[in-house]
Amino acid sequence: MGYRGKVTEQARARELRAKSWTLAEIAAELDVAKSSVSLWVRDVPFTPRPRDRAGRRNVVKRPHPAQLAKLAEIEAMNRWGADQIGVLSEREFLVAGAALYLGEGAKTKSRVAMANTDPAIIRLFVAWVRHWFEVDESRWRGNLYLHQGLDLEAATSFWSSVSAIPPEQFNKPYRAMPDAGIRHNKHEHGCFTAVYSSARTQRAVMGLVRALVTARIA
């Protein structure tokens, strides 16, 4: 039938060409001759991709099969984890919060506090404190650690939304000097510490933590 019969390949070639793939890249992707690709896409508008500082055209990188397999396994394990955990009961929520505080919480006197760059951790912590203890909202404080050059207003708004702590209850942020070895886009909102000042609450939390580590396993 020849290449004229490769309808699927022709359609895919035209799609890739419209996305600024070069003839060589399309030929390699579809495992066909470059001359065939040239014929298939000759009427498709083509806009070259911008070049980098060295003058090289940005290359479309295909994910490595091992990377795809890794991502598929992570997704499968996420589904498995969600199936195993399900919806937490009241008691399970109490224990989960104590376990989280055991690993991540501050152990200083007169306050309960947790620092993290993961909004899900902060959200779980503040929800746990508000659920299990009598809370005076005016006692909450937010501490923000953010590298210079990152958007302070955006970070403050972000963490206020996550923690439900008003921006006016944030302490003065710590602006760290930029570090060339740090990926600035990884933690664009910085590291946040949610602090609840109460000696009584801190003692209650630590009582749960101590009970957790000394509990018998059925």
Residue 52 has what pLDDT? 55
Q: Is residue 117 helix, strand or coil?
A: coil
- Positive or negative, the CA dihedral 179, 171, 169, 101 is positive
CA distances from 63 to 47, 60, 68, 76 (A): 23, 10, 6, 18
Distance CA 191, CA 201 (A): 24
Domain with CATH 1.10.10 in the chain: 1-62
Residue 99 has what pLDDT? 97
The tens-digit pLDDT sequence of the chain (218 residues) is 343 456 788 888 998 988 888 898 898 888 888 888 999 999 898 888 766 555 555 555 677 778 888 888 989 999 999 999 999 999 999 999 999 999 999 998 899 999 999 999 999 999 999 999 999 999 999 999 998 888 899 999 999 999 999 999 999 999 887 665 554 455 789 999 999 999 999 999 999 999 999 999 88
Would you say the pTM of this structure is higher than 0.75? no
Residue 149 has what pLDDT? 84
Distance CA 213, CA 206 (A): 11
Nearest 10 degrees: CA dihedral of 37, 39, 43, 46? 30
CATH class of 1-62: mainly alpha
Residue 29 has what pLDDT? 86
